[in-house]
Structure 1
């Protein structure tokens, strides 16, 4: 069972373009969500950011990799999944939560709360002449 999540934050580093076993591109990145809280003196301060591991598949993967760099404000709407694997060095079982965005479900975009952006329609490979 998957949980749908939506959040806005900033890319912790430049998105990394990788390729799945079927040679399809995907982007792996971490998004930091900052929260402001009031301290004991009533002042608003930054709380510890929450880090989300995000994997973006399909056409959005290359768009994010081409358009966004470290610190870019983005929003993510996807399915939270738990990935598990065996560590090659220690043999220990490992898990991590990942938010998955693909062409079947999910969206990713630039947050325009504090920045402006110019929208440019991407040319599909079949349309290129």
Structure 2
């Protein structure tokens, strides 16, 4: 297989939001990468800014949405793909998308604290409300503390462990 793998260093252009599509979560992030170089006068200068769309799926999407905020320095690696679609007005659009295999906050630009997510038991399906829509995984509609204590086995619960 002849995949094109890329690594991009830049800044998050947005805070990624978690979405559900075809029964699996995904998150999208825009990354701006601006090359810095020394010009002919010996001064630092900025080159043009390149924008990349980054997409992650499943657990990586949840972790991305919980970890990265607009303006954070990031390093992304993944498979480069060509995405085509039509706008609501029927106009064709296209974009180069990085299907991320790795996204991290760039520790060379600041302090990073890592917390590992530990899964207990079989993965639980994404919770849905009465209309079949996904429930906010970040706790806006999360069960209260008493309901969580009533879960005897703890199956499907996640625990943050500082590594």
| Superposition TM-score tier, normalisation by shorter sequence | 0.7 to 0.9
Describe the shift of the 1:125–1:69 C-alpha distance in structure 2 as closer, same or farther (beyond 3 A). farther
Structure 1: gaps of 5 or more residues: none
Find the counterpart in structure 1 of residue 37 from structure 2: 37
Q: Distance in 2 between matches of 1:44 and 1:119?
A: 33
Structure 2 equivalent of residue 12 of structure 1: 13
- 1:82 and 1:5 mapped to 2: Cα distance? 13
Q: Cα deviation per residue 1:12-71 (whole Å; 9 max; x = unaligned)? A: 111121111x22111111011121122332211222221111111121111111111011
**Corresponding residue for residue 47 of structure 1:** 47
Residue 68 of structure 1 pairs with residue 68 of structure 2: yes
Q: Which has the higher helix share?
A: 2
SS at match of 1:117: coil
Higher Cα radius of gyration: 2
Partner of residue 99, structure 1: 98
Aligned length: 123
Task: Using structure 1 for the length normalisation, give the TM-score.
Answer: 0.85
Instruction: Report the TM-score, using the length of structure 2 for normalisation.
Output: 0.68
Partner of 2:139: none
Task: Indicate the RMSD between aligned Cα atoms, in angstroms.
Answer: 1.8
2:118 alignment partner, SS class? coil
Q: Structure 2: state its 5+ residue gaps.
A: 122-154, 159-163
Residue in 1 aligned with 2:106?
A: 111
**Alpha-carbon distance in structure 2 between the residues aligned to 1:49 and 1:124:** 39
SS of structure 1 residue aligned to 2:112: coil
State the SS of the aligned residue for 1:113: helix
Structure 1 residues 70, 125: CA separation in 2 closer, same or farther (over 3 Å shift)? Answer: farther
Equivalent position of 1:2 in the other structure: 3
Shift of 1:112: 0.5
Aligned-pair distance for 1:83?
A: 0.8
